[in-house]
Amino acid sequence: MSKGFRFFPIFLLLIYLIGCASKSSIQREPLHAGKERRFQADFNKTLEAAHDAMVASGLQIESNTKIDDNTYMLIGKKGTSFWSWGELVRVAVIKEDDQTTIVRVVTKRRVSANITAKGDYSEAIFSNIELKLR
Range of the domain at 46: 20-133
76, 126 in Cβ contact below 8 A?
no
Classify 21 as helix, strand or coil: coil
Q: How many residues does the chain have?
A: 134
Structural domain contains residue 81: yes
pLDDT tens series, the chain, 134 aa: 555 556 656 655 555 555 555 656 666 778 899 999 999 999 999 999 999 999 999 999 999 999 999 999 999 987 654 555 568 899 999 999 999 999 999 987 654 544 444 568 899 999 999 999 99
Evaluate whether residue 5 is within a structural domain: no
Cα separation, 103 vs 35, in Å, equals 8
Report if residue 9 sits inside a domain: no
DSSP conformational letter for 117? S
User: How many domains does one find in the chain?
Assistant: 1
Quick one: 35 exposed, middle or buried, by C-beta within 10 A (0-12, 13-18, 19+)? middle
Report the CATH number at residue 81.
Answer: 3.30.310.80
Question: Does residue 1 lie within any of the structural domains?
Answer: no
Residue 125 covered by a domain: yes
Residue-wise pLDDT for 118-132, tens only, equals 568 899 999 999 999
DSSP state of 134: -
